[in-house]
């Protein structure tokens, strides 16, 4: 009996060590276990698309639009629940308003009742939001099959496609610096509104933002037509037994603990800034999702895109601070962007070439380069370092660190780990 007891204790001890020091290939299994406990932080008032289930009363508040006044025209793509079309709705904005271009999400035949309720819950969710930078739902059609959700049409399509089409191939850029600023400000204003509603987006990215037109008077809005995970499937990674996850846009606490908060949306907004300023480059290009996970949790951050203003890169780095409580709120981000735009209007926005690629040190005087000429080398070193760091972190159970969701320190008091110029080590940089 004593022998059996000792043997069992030894097996448990070895199992604990294997969990803490397991090889990198087992990291996805660790993540999978953690995602079964996916949370929206410690604040019970926070909610998201994944936690929202519409009541019959909420569905009844939606505009029930007659099917005979809708025509389907151009096929836009395949969504999560069915096909998405461009079409026309007559008098949907009111009596005698005439034809109006719309986007129509259709619900596929043969789906379950639970899927149908989830589809309509998405409409009820969108119906709760009223903001110029959030895509608006105009009505639903449920009097027959297929069920329709009628949305405002954004003719220029998703922001990622728009950015890539605007890339400067050989001549001047099709988007000015001022236009870049207004794009990211539009999105920040939409995020600020969602933050005020205590809503967590969880999938903020250029592919999930829509553009009203290709002209300079364009408006960018946050919205998800359910197309992103089909059109940009390479941007998502399926954890076993769970939904697809946008690993390259996820904060460290979301990667390690499945913890989504307003602050993890701020992190994703920083990645979105990188997309905008790089004309739609994929974050961490050429790296696997597993490498990205290890790189980010080891302290690695994206380099400054070419010709990106230093002040915008500083904002990115603020959004990527290690501890969630030290990242800026969207209200602060909007104010920061307003200040930049005001400076630009006063013709004092120009930055010298020597300032690009540099950031203030913690002392605020000495300038040090933040861009690495060997990003790939630095990435590989951080990935290796991250593997060891993650195992030690798991052993110490430090990933269960409690973060106070209601207290936020100054946005100028954080240390970030970024690769040094030779890519072989880390340095600390306090951004102000």
Around Cβ 183, how many Cβ atoms within 10 Å? 24
- Residues at the annotated binding site for ATP? 105
CA atoms within 13 Å, Cβ hemisphere of 373: 2
Round to whole Å and give the CA distance between 231 and 206. 13
296, 374 Cβ separation under 8 angstroms: no
Q: How many residues does the chain have?
A: 432
Q: Which one from 186, 203, 265, 291 is the annotated catalytic residue?
A: 203
- Please name the residues in contact with 133: beta carbons below 8 A apart, sequence gap of 6 or more: 186, 187, 189, 190, 193, 219, 220, 221, 222
223, 169 Cβ separation under 8 angstroms: no
> What are 75's two structure tokens?
């096929």
Task: Tell me how far CA of residue 44 lies from CA of 47, 199, 208, 261, 353, in angstroms.
Answer: 8, 11, 26, 11, 47
57, 128 Cβ separation under 8 angstroms: no
262, 312 Cβ separation under 8 angstroms: no
The DSSP 8-state label assigned to residue 322 in this structure reads: S
The DSSP 8-state label assigned to residue 370 in this structure reads: -
Q: How do 199-200 and 47-48 pair as beta strands? A: parallel
End-to-end CA distance of the chain: 64
> What are 172's two structure tokens?
């001047």
- The radius of gyration computed from the CA coordinates of the chain, to the nearest angstrom, equals 24
392, 274 Cβ separation under 8 angstroms: no
- Residues at the annotated binding site? 105
Per residue in 321-345, is it b (16+ CB within 10 Å) or e — as a string? bbebebbbbbebbbebbeebeeeee
> What are 78's two structure tokens?
């395949």
Helix ranges restricted to H, 129-259? 159-165, 177-196, 228-231, 252-257
203 flagged as catalytic: yes
Return the active site residues.
203
């Amino acid at each position: 009996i004593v022998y059996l007891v000792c043997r069992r204790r030894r097996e448990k001890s070895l199992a604990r060590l294997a969990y803490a020091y397991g090889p990198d290939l087992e990291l996805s299994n660790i993540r999978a276990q953690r995602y079964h406990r996916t949370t929206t932080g410690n604040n019970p008032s926070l909610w998201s698309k994944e936690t929202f289930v519409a009541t019959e009363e909420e569905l009844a508040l939606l505009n029930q639009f007659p099917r005979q006044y809708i025509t389907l025209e151009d096929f836009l793509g395949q969504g999560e629940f069915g096909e998405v079309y461009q079409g026309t709705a007559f008098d949907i904005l009111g009596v005698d308003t005439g034809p109006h271009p719309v986007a129509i999400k259709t619900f596929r035949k043969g789906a379950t009742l639970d899927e149908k309720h989830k589809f309509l819950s998405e409409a009820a969710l969108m119906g709760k939001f009223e903001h110029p930078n959030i895509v608006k739902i105009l009505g639903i059609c449920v009097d027959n099959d297929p069920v329709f959700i009628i949305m405002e049409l954004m003719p220029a399509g998703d922001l990622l496609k728009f950015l890539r089409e605007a890339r400067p191939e050989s001549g001047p850029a099709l988007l000015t610096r001022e236009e870049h600023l207004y794009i990211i400000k539009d999105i920040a204003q939409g995020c600020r509104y969602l933050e005020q509603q205590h809503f967590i987006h969880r999938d903020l990215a250029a592919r999930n933002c829509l553009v009203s037109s290709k002209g300079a008077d364009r408006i960018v809005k946050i919205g998800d037509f359910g197309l992103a995970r089909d059109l940009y499937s390479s941007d998502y990674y399926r954890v076993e037994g769970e939904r697809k996850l946008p690993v390259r846009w996820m904060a460290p606490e979301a990667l390690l603990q499945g913890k989504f908060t307003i602050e993890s949306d701020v992190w994703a907004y920083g990645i979105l800034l990188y997309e905008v300023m790089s004309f739609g480059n994929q974050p961490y290009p050429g790296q696997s999702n597993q490498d990205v996970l290890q790189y980010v949790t080891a302290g690695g951050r994206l380099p400054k895109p070419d010709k990106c203003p230093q002040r915008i890169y500083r904002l990115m780095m603020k959004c990527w601070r290690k501890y969630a409580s030290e990242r800026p709120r969207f209200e602060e981000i909007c104010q920061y962007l307003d200040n930049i735009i005001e400076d630009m209007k006063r013709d004092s926005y120009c930055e010298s070439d020597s300032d690009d690629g540099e950031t203030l040190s913690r002392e605020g005087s000495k300038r040090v380069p933040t861009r690495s000429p060997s990003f790939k080398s630095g990435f590989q070193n951080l990935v290796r370092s991250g593997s060891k760091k993650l195992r030690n972190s798991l052993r110490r159970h430090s990933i269960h660190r409690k973060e106070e969701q209601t207290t936020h320190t100054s946005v100028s008091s954080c240390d970030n780990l970024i690769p040094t110029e030779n890519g072989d080590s880390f340095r600390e940089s306090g951004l102000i």
